[in-house]
């Protein structure tokens, strides 16, 4: 059960990293502008 939870967390983090990388290459300046507004 712990292994499945670990794999799910790892998968989620990998998907997050991939989406962040794709979004970063698409609109890097816009992302940082939004981040600094927060």
Q: Which domain holds residue 29?
A: 2-37
Whole-structure pTM value = 0.51
Question: Does residue 1 register a pLDDT over 70?
Answer: no
Structural domain count of the chain: 1
Measure the CA–CA gap between 8 and 36, rounded to whole angstroms.
30
Q: Please report the pLDDT score of residue 34 as a whole number.
A: 74
- The arithmetic mean of pLDDT across residues 10-30, rounded, is 80
Query: Which structure tokens are listed for 21?
Result: 């990388």
* Band of pLDDT at residue 11, cut at 50, 70 and 90: very high
Q: What sign results for the dihedral spanned by CA atoms 30, 31, 33, 34?
A: positive
């Amino acid at each position: 059960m712990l292994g499945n939870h670990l794999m799910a967390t790892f998968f989620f983090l990998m998907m997050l990293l991939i989406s962040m990388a794709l979004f970063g290459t698409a609109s890097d300046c816009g992302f940082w502008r939004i981040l600094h507004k927060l």
